[in-house]
Amino acid sequence: MATLRFQALQSASGRKPVIVEELDRKSKIFGSNVFNDKAMRLFLTGEAYKAVQSAVQHGTKIDRKIAEHIAMGMKEWALSKNVTHYTHWFQPLTGTTAEKHDAFFETSMDGSDPVEKFGGTQLVQQEPDASSFPNGGIRNTFEARGYTAWDPTSPAFIFGTTLCIPTVFVSYTGEALDNKTPLLRALTAIDAAATDVAKYFDKNVKKITPTLGWEQEYFLVDAALASSRPDLMATGRTLLGHTSAKGQQLDDHYFGSIPTRVLQYMRDLENQCMLLGIPVKTRHNEVAPNQFELAPIFEETNLAVDHNSLLMDVMQKVAERHDFKVLFHEKPFKGVNGSGKHNNWSLATDTGINLLSPGKTPMSNLQFLTFFINTIKAVHDNEELVRASIASASNDHRLGANEAPPAIISVFIGQQLTKVLEELEGVSKGKLSPEEKTDLKLNVVGKIPDLLLDNTDRNRTSPFAFTGNKFEFRAVGSTANCAVSMTTLNTIVAKQLKDFKAEVDALIEKKDMKKDDAIFNVLREYIKGTKAILFEGDGYSEAWEKEAKKRGLSNHKTTPEALKAKVSKKAIALFEEMGVMNHIEVESRYEIELEEYTKKIQIEGRVLGDIARNHVVPTAIKYQNTLIDNVRGLKEIFGKDFEVIAKEQIKMIKDISGHIEGINSKIDAMIEARKKANLLTDAEKQAAAYCNEVKPFFEEIRYHSDKLELLVDDEMWTLTKYRELLFTK
Ligand code: ADP
Ligand code: MG
């Protein structure tokens, strides 16, 4: 009987593209499964419509009676689209999304009066049986009481035959049990702080909205091939596998033509995204074989985060129709590029200005520089927290493990802006003379071109790059829920802007400075104090690691090390001051992330032990037996001369034994290390033990297994190989 590998190869090689019917023009179908403005106008009373609008724009509360009306309209809309169920859709701390479906259908006890029902209460609040979501000790599991509450700022949508209502997930004591709640609080904080600062430049600004445009990288692997790899299925990455002779050396995949099967998948996916109101725009091949990217038009951050979470779910579901499996893992394959999720971030005013876009006048450019420099300072002052916000077991394979970007957080700004900062650094202390001001306006601030030519950062090694009219946080992992990094980024910038405002106001009041003079004075000091974070060179290089160390920048290569910054006194004070998380919420997240790290490494260790011992070793022994038979035969024929004739075979027999010994002894040692780690009760110590005592065996076991892969007869090898996973189209 053919092994799973060969069965899978046969299925995969026979696949035809699943041709996807084109729906109507994108602009026509966009958002048709979303309870958006258009649907609301159609299905809500004027009063209900206004209440939702005001909740979205000003964060006002919606009272119960109005909620009843909204629910009624929402239900009618959903029923008109053949929807049968509704769910509160939320983002627990597992990093994914969760849902519990209830039917609209109700009937009386004797089965009479069947009817579809959905009221204000069901819209506003639901109690999922939440006892098995991670809560890091906030909630005793036997109390099991958390509830979800409607987030009107992210519109309800229909997926399949279910009405999904975006919600926050909180405990009865008010603590956030999800990723969305802290994000919403961070967005409120930055709105307040940034609006205050923007008012220096334009009194009409009333609201600032942080924007997010994520870029999702992923691999597509044939579903049958993926299922033939227990490691891919259980951990999302290959734990074994010799790199294929051809990898990405030829750079022939990047931006190359998209294979037909993949293109059909992408079209199908894009159609689904259109219906769901996810404004996807870009699709292309990425650097590694079978690696792709999808990016939307940027949106308000909360909505963008929801859309990314929803997208990841939709991607996997659509993939099933096309016999693909989507790999979101940051490093599914050794030796080829991994995947990230660049988070493009900026701030938009309600007057239609992108605050990180250089303008046409000196005044608008001073505004731009203010937000630009404050962001740099925020990252400078909180680089460890920024690093912590993207830490995960899977992202460790990118950051700091010979892949861009490095684990050192730095900011790329380009030559032109570097020069501008140098000039601003020379601004006189105190009040500026009229001549100096004119000079600044004409020759420095006024000269920033609105198109910054060098801000594409071609080498792409910077974890946080200014790219012309936005910052691009590139170190975010492809599996991440963007809420975590966006909560951190918006919080640190909010705090920074709040401090900036206080400093500028103090100079105006106490030193009798003009507003511009005060701003120039504060910015000058920021520029002087934050140089350590600016870096334009090659982030891969060893020289940079040395230089960064000299500059005092952190370089935490592992998650347990990196996460510590989350619970530093400074971080807790920051989150509390900005009203984003209290110390219980911060500490519980820390604990959950440590536990998640431990579990991930634990699972990888188990799966690796299993496949190495139960797939690789038996196969190697089988092949070794054929060699032994061969040597025996040669001995029969050639008598005492056989040793010369069978020299290579004998060497191979010995080599195989050596590698089997290597695998078995390392697995034994790894199991011992796991047992010891499992005895630890402190989450921090346990994660460190898994990181430093268990994980190092992975590479050693892999080394021997990958050597065996090269030795053993291809026909016998049971694990689907890299070339098959990566090059089957
Ligand atoms: P690339 O990094 O691939 O060169 P693009 O310039 O196409 O990318 O932009 C990447 C992402 O940045 C897109 O999702 C885009 O919507 C987003 N983006 C553009 N402007 C902004 C902005 N002002 N705020 C947030 N994201 C933005
Ligand atoms: Mg990008």
pLDDT (0 to 100) of residue 142 = 41
For ligand 1, say whether the CB of 42 is within 6 Å of any of its atoms: no
Q: Taking the model in full, what pTM does it have?
A: 0.95
Dihedral sign for Cα atoms in the order 610, 613, 616, 619: negative
Query: What are the residues whose beta carbons fall under 8 Å from the beta carbon of 281, sequence distance 6 or more?
Result: 295, 296, 297
Q: Report the chain's terminal Cα–Cα distance, integer Å.
A: 25
From the CA of 307, which ligand is nearest? 1
- pLDDT block averages, 10 residues each, the chain of length 729: 90 92 89 96 95 90 91 96 94 84 88 88 80 65 69 94 94 88 97 98 96 97 97 97 80 75 95 96 88 96 97 96 97 94 97 92 90 98 98 92 82 92 92 89 82 67 92 96 98 98 97 93 97 93 93 96 98 98 94 96 98 97 97 94 92 98 98 97 97 98 98 96 92
**In b/e form, how buried is each residue of 470-498, taking b as 16+ CB within 10 angstroms?**
bbbbbbbbbbbbbbbbbbbbbbbbbbbbb
d(CA 163, CA 114): 20
Task: Give the bridge partners for 412, in sequence order.
Answer: 465
Choose among 378, 453, 377: nearest CA to 421: 377
621: Cβ–Cβ under 8 A, 6 or more apart, which residues? 656, 660
Residue 342 Cα to ligand 2 middle (Å): 6
How many CB atoms within 10 Å of residue 554?
A: 19
Residues bordering ligand 2, an ion, CB closer than 5 Å: 342
- Helix and strand numbers (H, E) in the chain are 27, 17
From ligand 1's centre to the CA of 504, what distance in Å? 31
CATH 3.10.20.70 domain position(s) in the chain: 31-178
Residue 255's pLDDT is 67
CB atoms within 10 A of CB 672: 13
- DSSP three-state, residue 383: helix
Q: Indicate the CATH number of 31-178 among 3.40.50.720, 3.40.630.10, 3.90.600.10, 3.10.20.70.
A: 3.10.20.70
Indicate the fold that domain 187-581 takes in CATH: Creatine Kinase; Chain A, domain 2 (3.30.590)
* Residues whose CB falls within 8 Å of the CB of residue 622, separated by 6 or more in sequence, listed in order: 716
272 CA to centre of ligand 2 in angstroms: 23
Ligand 1 and 344: CB distance under 6 A: yes
- Which of 371, 470, 493 should be mutated for ligand 1, with most atoms under 8 A from CB? 470
Is there a contact between 170 and 128 (Cβ–Cβ < 8 Å)?
no
User: What separation in Å is there between the alpha carbon of 465 and the centre of ligand 1?
Assistant: 12
285, two tokens: 């091949």
Contact yes or no for 719/229 (Cβ under 8 A): yes
Does residue 354 line the site of ligand 1, with CB under 6 A?
A: yes
CA distance 479 to 477: 6
Given CA atoms 575, 578, 580, 583 in this order, what sign does their dihedral have? positive
Q: What is the CATH number of domain 596-727?
A: 1.20.120.1560
Q: Given this model, what pLDDT does residue 139 score?
A: 54
How many whole angstroms from 344 Cα to the centroid of ligand 1? 6
Q: Where are the beta strands (DSSP E) in 181-242?
A: 208-222
The sign of the dihedral angle between the CA atoms of 473, 475, 478, 480 is negative
Q: Identify which ligand lies nearest to the alpha carbon of 474.
A: 2
pLDDT value of position 141: 43
Distance 50 CA to ligand 1 centre (A): 32
Protein residue with its CA nearest to atom 23 in ligand 1:
346
Q: Which residues pair with 213 in a beta bridge?
A: 344
**By the 8 A CB rule, do 718 and 329 touch?**
no
Do 231 and 607 touch, CB atoms closer than 8 A? yes
Contacts of 594 (CB under 8 A, 6+ apart): 560, 563, 683, 684, 686, 687
Residues recorded for the chain: 729
Structure tokens at 623: 């092949």
Which H or E element spans position 683? helix 683-689
Q: Whose CA is nearest to atom 6 of ligand 1?
A: 467
Which of ligand 1's atoms lies nearest the C-alpha of 456? 4
- Residue 708 is predicted with a pLDDT of 98
Q: Ligand 1: which atom is nearest the Cα of residue 215?
A: 14
Phi and psi torsions of 218, nearest 5°: -165, 160
pLDDT at 724: 95
pLDDT of residue 455: 67
Which ligand has the nearest atom to the CA of 298? 1
User: Does residue 295 line the site of ligand 1, with CB under 6 A?
Assistant: yes
Task: Report how far residue 408's alpha carbon sits from residue 540's, in angstroms, rounded to the nearest whole number.
Answer: 10
The CB of 213 under 6 Å from ligand 1? The reply is yes
Counting ligands in written order, which one lies closest to the CA of residue 469?
Answer: 1
Neighbours of 64 (CB within 10 A): 10
Give the distance (Å) from ligand 2 centre to CA of residue 689: 35
Looking at this protein, which amino acid is placed at residue 234? Answer: A
Going from the Cα of 474 to the center of ligand 2, the distance in angstroms, rounded, reads 7
Residue 144 zone, left/alpha/beta (φ > 0; ψ -120 to 50; rest): left
CATH 3.30.590.10 location in the chain? 187-581
